[in-house]
Amino acid sequence: MMLSPVYIWATIGVIFIIADVITLTFFPVFLGLGALITALFTWMGLTQGINSQLICFAVSSLITMALFRKMVKKMFGKSKGDTEYSQLVGQKVYVSTAIPVGHEGKVSYRGSD
C-alpha cells in the first residue's frame, strides 16, 4: 500500500515538532510547521508534484522561521540579562577574607564559601 504525500508530509511535520520538544532548540519546529503547511497545500491540491512540494516546504519553513523565531526565543529562551548568578545579585554575604580592589576573594553565603 502506497502512502499519500499528504500523510508523508504530515508525519514528517509531527516528527520535526516532537524533535523540537525533545531538543528545545527552536529550529525543528519551523521545519515541522513547513511540512504541515506542505501537507495542507498538497491536500488542497495546490502542490501536485514533488518539486512543488519541496519548494512549498522550503519557502514555508523559511517564512515561519523569519516571522516567529524571535517571538519564540523571547517567550522560551533566556533573556540577555540572565546569567548563571543573576539570582544572587543584591544578596548579602559575609566576606571571609579581605578582597583587594580588582581581585578575587572569599565570601560566605548561606553557610557556603
Domain ranges of the chain: 5-76
Nearest alpha carbon to residue 34 among 3, 74, 2, 66: 66
Going residue by residue through the chain (113 aa), what tens digit of pLDDT does each one get? 688 999 999 999 999 999 988 987 878 999 999 999 999 999 999 998 999 999 999 999 999 999 988 787 777 665 555 556 667 777 787 887 888 888 888 878 777 77
Q: What is the pLDDT of residue 10?
A: 96
Neighbours of 63 (CB within 10 A): 14
The pLDDT value recorded for residue 40 is 96
pTM recorded for the entire structure: 0.64
Strands 107-108, 94-95: pairing kind: antiparallel
Specify the length of the chain in residues.
113
